[in-house]
Amino acid sequence: MSDRSILLIITGGVAAFKSLELIRELGRAGVKSRVILTKAAQEFVTPLSVSALSGEKCFTELFDLNDESEMGHIELSRSTDLVVVCPASADIMGKAANGLANDLASTALLATDKQVLYAPAMNVRMWQHPAVQRNVETLRADGAIVLEPDEGVMACGEFGPGRLPEVSRLKEEILFALAPDKSLAGKHIVITAGPTREPIDPVRYISNHSSGRQGYAIAASLRAKGADVTLISGPVSIAPPDGVELVKVETAREMLAASEAALPANAFISVAAVADWRPASESDTKLKLKGGEEPVTMAFAENPDILKAISNHASQRPDLVIGFAAETHELHKHAQGKLARKGCDWIIANDVSGDVMGGENNEVTLFSKSGAEASPRMTKSRIADWIAERIAKALS
Ligand code: CTP
């Protein structure tokens, strides 16, 4: 890490003092910090203490002619490996999410072409305010890393999420962002996602509400670790992650054929919400109302179980086969049952009796033959990272 450097933007907040310890800790890991202090931050820490710790000049003003001739704000924002905003106030995230630039910190954020990592810290009500959450979402959609704040008693006496994470975690996240883990390079992973669509006639079908979001997030996390990812997807309205090979399918039978065609693979992950049944026959012409009072009946045929088929593949079974299970009750019992029935190596189960479906957050339990491990409650993309880390370990 000895040749890495960050541009650290410290914004106003009681947690600003922790950034001083962060500068020291990063320095011990060989990472240099060049620092911008906003006006509000200077109420909490001084440019002198920052310079003493970083060993570098501390930048504060946008239109300082001396600074601009030494190092302009554009160069400041680009001659670095990573931009870190810590603590990140609601104000700076609001500016960055909306492209505003009226001081050195916000101008540097707009001018940078580097990855930006925000470590938010603010009052719990501010953090939970829809406007702040909207800005966080925008920043993430723009490619920034926004850490989840810690939960606990705040300086203002209230309790909840909003605290700046501990310096040890901040350091770990920064080191990770500086040296991305490519431990899945050279591994081929096949993943199914989204719903399947089973035709009734040329204009009708049966399907389900799966959005494909969790599966797409897992594909993105695996790709970020360097895996060659084949994403076999039913019809969804979200864009595929960069760099993955997308195979679009509609029916369960097409999904099975595409999954088998994508082998050999090191791992197969079945996240798709495969329709269990399809209409026993598909009409070539649109079915018409009969106008009678008799109930309309339809015969269904069972769809192939894709996960089971890949788990029991005679010649090309991947080293690691993973299924998912969304359950509303008796999570452990059903997950263990599926593990045995499908012949896969892991079942990742979640309890969907609460607000998980369509929501931002999720928590899962990973069941394997050797036991169960529960994740913390996190955003769906962090859950995807949590799963990808375990896959990387299992395939190493
Ligand atoms: N699955 C599959 N093919 C099917 C049905 C399910 O590959 N025809 C996979 C899913 O992608 C998931 C796992 O099997 O990884 C469990 O799916 P789930 O719908 O929870 O289980 P089912 O076997 O359908 O059991 P049940 O609906 O009774 O819970």
Domain segments of the chain as ranges: 5-177, 188-395
Query: Is 156 marked active-site?
Result: yes
CA-wise closest residue to 95 among 9, 22, 173? 9
In terms of C-beta distances under 8 Å and separation of at least 24 residues, what long-range contacts does 212-217 make, across chains too? 212/236, 212/238, 213/238, 213/380, 214/271, 214/324, 214/362, 214/380, 214/383, 214/384, 215/191, 215/269, 215/271, 215/272, 216/240, 216/241, 217/380, 217/381, 217/383, 217/384
Instruction: Tell me, in angstroms, the distance from the centre of ligand 1 to residue 179's CA.
Output: 37
pLDDT tens column, 260-270: 999 999 999 99
Ligand 1, atom 25: closest residue by C-alpha: 338
**Distance from residue 275's CA to the centre of ligand 1 (Å):** 8
| 292 vs 82, more confident | 82
Beta-bridged to residue 120, according to DSSP, are: 88
Ligand 1: centre distance to CA 274 (Å)? 6
Backbone angles phi, psi at 378, to 5 degrees: -145, 175
**Beta bridge pairs of residue 230:** 190, 245
Closest CA to 128 of 178, 90, 172: 90
CA 22-27-31 angle, 5° bins: 100
Predicted local confidence at residue 289, as pLDDT: 80
The yes-or-no verdict on residue 154 having pLDDT over 80 is no
- Condensed to tens digits (0 to 9), the pLDDT of residues 80-126 reads 999 999 999 999 999 999 999 999 999 999 999 999 999 999 999 99
User: Which tokens belong to 261?
Assistant: 């065609």
What is the distance between the alpha carbons of residues 332 and 32, in angstroms, rounded to a whole number? 47
Question: 5-177 and 188-395: same fold?
Answer: yes
188-395 carries CATH number 3.40.630.10 = no
Strand 365-368 to 371-374 pairing: antiparallel
CA 174 from chain centre, in angstroms, equals 16
Q: How does DSSP classify residue 273?
A: B
pLDDT range class, residue 358, cuts 50, 70, 90: low
Q: Which residues line ligand 1 (CB under 6 A)?
A: 252, 270, 272, 274, 276, 303, 305-307, 323-326, 338
pLDDT at 111: 93
The region, left, alpha or beta by phi > 0 then psi within -120 to 50, assigned to residue 333 is alpha
Q: How far is the CA of 306 from the centre of ligand 1 (A)?
A: 8
71 has pLDDT over 70: no
Placement of tokens 């930006």 in the chain: 116
Burial of 111 (0-12, 13-18, 19+ CB in 10 A): middle
Secondary structure (3-state) at 162: strand
Which atom of ligand 1 sits closest to the CA of residue 341? 23
Q: Which of 273, 246, 240, 275 has the alpha carbon at shortest distance from 258?
A: 246
Ligand 1 atom with least separation from CA of 306: 7
Instruction: Tell me what pLDDT residue 67 has.
Output: 66
Distance, CA of 91 to CA of 25 (rounded, Å): 26
What is the chain's mean pLDDT, rounded? Answer: 92
The whole-number pLDDT of residue 68 equals 65
Closest CA to 243 of 216, 281, 261, 263: 216
Q: Which of 3.90.1150.10, 3.30.160.620, 3.40.30.10, 3.40.50.1950 is the CATH number of 5-177?
A: 3.40.50.1950
Q: How confident is the model at residue 66 (pLDDT cuts 50, 70, 90)?
A: low
